[in-house]
Chain A
Amino acid sequence: MSKNPEASAEDSVPTTKTVETIARVAIRFTGDSGDGMQLTGTKFTESTALAGNDLATLPDYPAEIRAPAGTLAGVSGFQVHFSSEDIRTPADHPDVLVAFNPAALRANVDDVRPGGMVIINSDSFNTKSLAKAGYSDDPLPDIRQRFKLVEVPLTKLNREATQGLDLSARDADRSKNFFALGIMYWLYNRPMEPTIRWLEKRFKGNVLEANIRVLKAGHAFGETTELFPVSFSVPPAKIQPGTYRNITGNTALAWGVIAAGVQMNRPVFLGAYPITPASDVLHEVARYRNFGVKTMQAEDEIAAISATIGASFSGDLAFTTTSGPGFVLKQEALGLAVMAELPLVVVNIQRSGPSTGMPTKIEQADLLLALHGRNSESPLPVIAANSPGDCFYSVLEATRIAVEYMTPVVLLSDGFLANSAEPWAIPDVDSLVRTEVTFRTNPDDFHPYSRDPDTLARPWAIPGTPGLEHRIGGLSKQNVTGNVSYDPKNNQQMIDLRAEKVARIAASLPPVEVDGPDSGELLVLGWGGTLGAITTAVEEAREAGASVSSAHLRHLNPFPPNLGDVLRSFNQILVPELNSGQLCSLLRSQFLVNAQSMGKVEGQPFQVEELRARIQSMLEQER
């Protein structure tokens, strides 16, 4: 943390205590999954976004809706990193930990920066709750040694603040996350108004009154207590001019689906089956029927993609959203879409596996599944979003490819992008890509599998068009006519044509850009949601004098045309991925380069420090 002499007063309530200006801070809110930690973190994030900081968040919660209270299994956390400078990750180590109970403390305290602040609800620390968390001795003496421990009798203070309201003790206690939020707003000089506005929309009566009261009481407690001698100010970041909002990857993705319909002037169909962490996309798109979007909660993953393909056959812009296990179930139908050459976008918001795995945790290990998960030779384009806001643009890009080339496209996101938030420069709608959708209407010389000479796309001929009646399906089809064919040479030709069609997409792709010198000692190459961590690590290493560059792939199939040249411009290549080396093996086989894999499947994102350590060891090896 550095002092910034140009402290700007973004705080909405003046304080009489000293305000220390700092450049960046990371706070982690932790408690039981019923304590409202995700909500608390989200509200803090929104307020921080409005204060003009750059920010990145990391929600980390269990799959169980309400695991037994007070146990390690039920601990839910939300980390928010905000700064007056450009940041790209939620930070390796929080500077401040807010722990609502001993279990939350135990599960998180070792991540806190040494000497950082630990704020606990002291009312929740008793023999029973310590035992539930697995503490045999009182941990607080040790915590006092290692951190600045702040003990707040949160439950008691919160009950006092709600006195006189007609609320049960249980209901009153449920608002204590807002008391804590009030304290944090005071401590970091964040405005309370956005949260109050949200509360007024969400609640009424005594519950509204209680939440607003405790939020303000928490704030006032910060101002008056001797536990906090100073508060902190993080001035607004110097970011590109424009209008900003806070956005999560799943919201951006949902809005991308809606935007695709608007930009291509076609009705949108989204078929989906509930699955973590993809369900929020279905929820969000379903809210906007006035855009003409139709969403269908199907009976299962297979029905979701099947209905989606049906809608595409009929001329809708068709999407289906899922996560790993659901993506597996969709593969047979996806193979049919490859065979039938129909445009649709399949979004896989990857999660930790194998099998059910850790549904709320992070992984990017479905790349090879996306490329090769179907029977026989069934290539399709694969692209990956690399930041929460980028999910929006990735949908538009996936849709462009699908429609221009008449092919299903897989868009990979992941649990990190899905739930993380960042400030997002709201695009000017006129600047967004607009893809022309043309249906075949002329019956003269119509053949369902004639092809555009450039893209090799077949015509999109939708039911209801006179004179174009035709049949498609999964059986091998004769070139041009689409009639069922068992001719060996024809089968070879059709498989070659479909592969060539996907390969030709490369001509429409922007080249891979290298961040740093475009040749040299070491290239760190990633894809998807690891962009922030990789870029930060490489930039830090370069600032420290290392010869290292980074590049990030959005298009995983086909690769951008210059990728081979880029790879060959570096002595060493490091490929960090949240899997066991999938992209790395593709690069090695396709380009015959000695790319080194850095894999991780812990369900957590890369930390900048582990990436830096690996970069350093690779550079040292070379010497």
Chain B
Amino acid sequence: MSDNPKLTRKDFTSDQDVRWCPGCGDYSILANVQRLMPELDIPRENFVFVSGIGCSSRFPYYMNTYGFHTIHGRAPAFATGIKVSHPELSVWVVTGDGDGLSIGGNHLLHAIRRNLDIQLLLFNNRVYGLTKGQYSPTSLAGMKTKSSPVGSIDHPIEPISFALGAGASFVARTVDVDAKHLQEVLRRAQAHRGMSFVEILQNCPVYNDDEWLEVEDRKQRVEAALVLQDGQPLVWGPEDQRRGIRIEDGIPSIVALDPDDDPVSKGIAVHYERHETPAYAFALASFQRPAFPLPLGVFRAVEKPTYEDLLASEVSHSIEKEGPGDLAQLLNSGDTWTVDA
């Protein structure tokens, strides 16, 4: 598409006023997605943003692309129909922790396991925003909200583990305010052929402020986040207080490292995105604050045939084998009889 005029962020900005609350993490995500789009070398008319219901689901209205704001929780199913109908489209689903994991949990599960070549961005702020502050399926146990005045008694679901469990071929986590990391992860997600599941830790300043402060704040982040890099050992912390993570029999443990230590020889696990089984990625997904640093980056990236390719090849094989469909032949197939005039 190199003969197309170079597009800019402005070309991807719709004429609609953005109506999120001041300070909402969605602003940063929107700006970064709009900045990334021109760099992907995809004609603007081939982008489709699909969403369900919730704060995050207003996203398509602000993108100057094709967009479909659908019904609560069902965006992955709508996106499936769009992608299957036109596999050349670049389809992006924007959902949240309530939309994607509560009312839409079933569709998310099945869209992931079918491995459509789409990008699914799950904005996780661990609270319901648009309905004004109830606990969500990712809210931590004990969270006090209007609908859980003495604290939530639900055990939370962990989005990365959910996606891995559903057989996702690409799973990543990033943070709303980290422009560089966010764009890099989304670029990887778009390049991946198959379902790309991206959890974006996102701040809701009104109903769950600073839920992710530890990984959003540059200073705290050094201690709180483990940035995953393919082929690099699982090491984090300030230069003089580095720590690494060993994984033995699937159980992670933290090892303190001296500045001169070679992490690999100390038994520190080396990050690898393409393990055949998801066991290693599951171990990473189990790292929770405060006991462990929160991993950011690509957990898993493996190749699997996509749903739309398999369906299209069924069609082409059938045409190859039986010839293109002939309606008159179909209607006259099997036993028929003729009544003469």
Q: Which residues of A contact B (CB under 8 A)?
A: 46, 49-50, 52, 194, 236, 239-246, 255, 258-259, 262-263, 267, 269, 271, 288-294, 296, 298-300, 302-304, 306-316, 318, 332-333, 336, 340, 426-429, 462-475, 483-484
Most buried by A among B65, B109, B330: B330
Report B-chain residues with C-beta under 8 Å of the C-beta of A236: 339
Report A-chain residues with C-beta under 8 Å of the C-beta of B66: 463, 469-471
Q: Within the assembled complex, what's the spacing in Å between the Cα atoms of A470 and B314? A: 32
Q: Within the assembled complex, what's the spacing in Å between the Cα atoms of A246 and B336? A: 8
Residue in chain A with minimal CB distance to B46:
A464
Q: Is B340 among interface residues, defined by CB-CB distance under 8 A?
A: yes
With A463-B86, A471-B61, A473-B69 in contact, is A290–B319 under 8 Å at CB? yes
| Of the residues B44, B323, B335, contact of A469 by C-beta under 8 Å | B44
Q: Within the assembled complex, what's the spacing in Å between the Cα atoms of A242 and B327? A: 17
Chain B 295-333 residues near chain A, CB threshold 8 A: 311, 314-315, 317-319, 321-325, 327-328, 330-332
Report B-chain residues with C-beta under 8 Å of the C-beta of A472: 67-69
Q: Is B43 among interface residues, defined by CB-CB distance under 8 A?
A: yes
Report B-chain residues with C-beta under 8 Å of the C-beta of A315: 85-86
With A311-B82, A468-B45, A469-B65 in contact, is A243–B332 under 8 Å at CB? yes
Q: A263-B327, A300-B106, A316-B85 are in contact. List 4 more A-B contacts (CB 8 A).
A: A267-B85, A336-B71, A429-B328, A473-B69
- For residue A491, give the distance in angstroms from its CB to the closest CB of chain B: 17
Residue in chain B with minimal CB distance to A443:
B45
| Of the residues B43, B47, B84, B330, contact of A307 by C-beta under 8 Å | B84
Q: Is B60 among interface residues, defined by CB-CB distance under 8 A?
A: yes
Report A-chain residues with C-beta under 8 Å of the C-beta of B338: 242-244
- For residue B320, give the distance in angstroms from its CB to the closest CB of chain A: 9
Q: Is B64 among interface residues, defined by CB-CB distance under 8 A?
A: yes
| Of the residues A314, A340, A474, contact of B81 by C-beta under 8 Å | A314
Report B-chain residues with C-beta under 8 Å of the C-beta of A306: 70-71, 74, 77-78, 80-81, 107
- Is the CB–CB distance between A244 and B89 below 8 Å? no
- Is the CB–CB distance between A310 and B325 below 8 Å? no
Q: Within the assembled complex, what's the spacing in Å between the Cα atoms of A261 and B140? A: 50
| Of the residues B60, B332, B341, contact of A471 by C-beta under 8 Å | B60
Most buried by A among B84, B317, B332: B84
With A294-B311, A307-B80 in contact, is A239–B74 under 8 Å at CB? no
With A463-B45, A471-B61 in contact, is A318–B337 under 8 Å at CB? no
- Is the CB–CB distance between A307 and B77 below 8 Å? yes
- Is the CB–CB distance between B78 and A464 below 8 Å? no
Q: Within the assembled complex, what's the spacing in Å between the Cα atoms of A241 and B338? A: 7
| Of the residues B83, B321, B331, B339, contact of A429 by C-beta under 8 Å | B331
With A315-B86, A465-B45, A484-B16 in contact, is A302–B332 under 8 Å at CB? no
Report B-chain residues with C-beta under 8 Å of the C-beta of A242: 338-339
Most buried by B among A271, A303, A333: A303
Report A-chain residues with C-beta under 8 Å of the C-beta of B327: 258-259, 262-263, 291, 429
Report B-chain residues with C-beta under 8 Å of the C-beta of A483: 16
Report A-chain residues with C-beta under 8 Å of the C-beta of B79: 310
24 residue pairs bridging A and B, Cβ less than 8 Å apart: A50-B337, A241-B341, A243-B332, A244-B339, A245-B336, A258-B327, A263-B327, A290-B325, A291-B330, A293-B315, A296-B311, A303-B107, A306-B71, A308-B81, A310-B78, A310-B83, A332-B71, A463-B46, A463-B86, A464-B88, A471-B16, A471-B61, A473-B60, A484-B16
Residue in chain A with minimal CB distance to B45:
A466
Report B-chain residues with C-beta under 8 Å of the C-beta of A259: 327, 331
- Is the CB–CB distance between A292 and B315 below 8 Å? yes
Residue in chain A with minimal CB distance to B57:
A473
Report A-chain residues with C-beta under 8 Å of the C-beta of B64: 469
Report A-chain residues with C-beta under 8 Å of the C-beta of B101: none
Chain B 17-50 residues near chain A, CB threshold 8 A: 43-48, 50
Q: Is B277 among interface residues, defined by CB-CB distance under 8 A?
A: no
Residue in chain B with minimal CB distance to A466:
B45
Report B-chain residues with C-beta under 8 Å of the C-beta of A300: 106
- Is the CB–CB distance between A303 and B322 below 8 Å? no
- Is the CB–CB distance between B339 and A290 below 8 Å? no
| Of the residues A241, A466, A471, contact of B69 by C-beta under 8 Å | A471
Q: Is B192 among interface residues, defined by CB-CB distance under 8 A?
A: no
| Of the residues A240, A290, A473, contact of B68 by C-beta under 8 Å | A473
- Is the CB–CB distance between B74 and A302 below 8 Å? yes
Report B-chain residues with C-beta under 8 Å of the C-beta of A426: 331-332, 336
Closest 8 CB pairs of A and B: A310-B81, A473-B69, A291-B325, A306-B77, A307-B81, A314-B85, A289-B318, A471-B67
| Of the residues B80, B89, B334, B336, contact of A463 by C-beta under 8 Å | B89
- Is the CB–CB distance between B330 and A258 below 8 Å? yes
Q: Is B14 among interface residues, defined by CB-CB distance under 8 A?
A: yes
| Of the residues B65, B86, B336, contact of A244 by C-beta under 8 Å | B336
Q: Is B9 among interface residues, defined by CB-CB distance under 8 A?
A: no
Report B-chain residues with C-beta under 8 Å of the C-beta of A473: 60-61, 67-70
Report B-chain residues with C-beta under 8 Å of the C-beta of A311: 81-82, 84-85
Q: Is B187 among interface residues, defined by CB-CB distance under 8 A?
A: no
Report A-chain residues with C-beta under 8 Å of the C-beta of B71: 306, 332-333, 336, 474
Q: Is B110 among interface residues, defined by CB-CB distance under 8 A?
A: yes
Chain B 99-155 residues near chain A, CB threshold 8 A: 106-107, 109-110
Chain B 234-284 residues near chain A, CB threshold 8 A: none
- For residue A552, give the distance in angstroms from its CB to the closest CB of chain B: 25
| Of the residues A239, A289, A290, A294, contact of B84 by C-beta under 8 Å | A294
Most buried by B among A315, A429, A468: A429
- Is the CB–CB distance between A463 and B48 below 8 Å? yes
Report A-chain residues with C-beta under 8 Å of the C-beta of B65: 469
- Is the CB–CB distance between B77 and A310 below 8 Å? yes
Residue in chain A with minimal CB distance to B317:
A289
- Is the CB–CB distance between A309 and B81 below 8 Å? yes
Report A-chain residues with C-beta under 8 Å of the C-beta of B45: 463-469
- For residue B274, give the distance in angstroms from its CB to the closest CB of chain A: 28
Report B-chain residues with C-beta under 8 Å of the C-beta of A464: 45-46, 86, 88-89
Chain B 169-212 residues near chain A, CB threshold 8 A: none
Report B-chain residues with C-beta under 8 Å of the C-beta of A429: 327-328, 331
Q: Within the assembled complex, what's the spacing in Å between the Cα atoms of A258 and B324? A: 13
- Is the CB–CB distance between B81 and A318 below 8 Å? yes
Residue in chain B with minimal CB distance to A271:
B81
Report B-chain residues with C-beta under 8 Å of the C-beta of A463: 45-46, 48, 66, 82, 86, 89
| Of the residues B44, B60, B74, B317, contact of A333 by C-beta under 8 Å | B74
Most buried by B among A52, A240, A292, A293: A292
Q: Within the assembled complex, what's the spacing in Å between the Cα atoms of A314 and B79? A: 10
Report A-chain residues with C-beta under 8 Å of the C-beta of B336: 243-245, 426
| Of the residues A245, A303, A427, contact of B334 by C-beta under 8 Å | A245
Residue in chain B with minimal CB distance to A305:
B77
- Is the CB–CB distance between B81 and A313 below 8 Å? yes
Report B-chain residues with C-beta under 8 Å of the C-beta of A298: 77, 110
Report B-chain residues with C-beta under 8 Å of the C-beta of A239: 339
Report B-chain residues with C-beta under 8 Å of the C-beta of A244: 336-339
Q: Within the assembled complex, what's the spacing in Å between the Cα atoms of A447 and B317? A: 40
Q: Within the assembled complex, what's the spacing in Å between the Cα atoms of A484 and B57? A: 14
Report B-chain residues with C-beta under 8 Å of the C-beta of A333: 70-71, 74
- Is the CB–CB distance between B70 and A474 below 8 Å? yes
With A290-B323, A292-B325, A427-B331 in contact, is A49–B337 under 8 Å at CB? yes
Q: Within the assembled complex, what's the spacing in Å between the Cα atoms of A224 and B338? A: 33
| Of the residues A296, A312, A467, contact of B80 by C-beta under 8 Å | A296
With A294-B315, A306-B77, A474-B69 in contact, is A299–B85 under 8 Å at CB? no
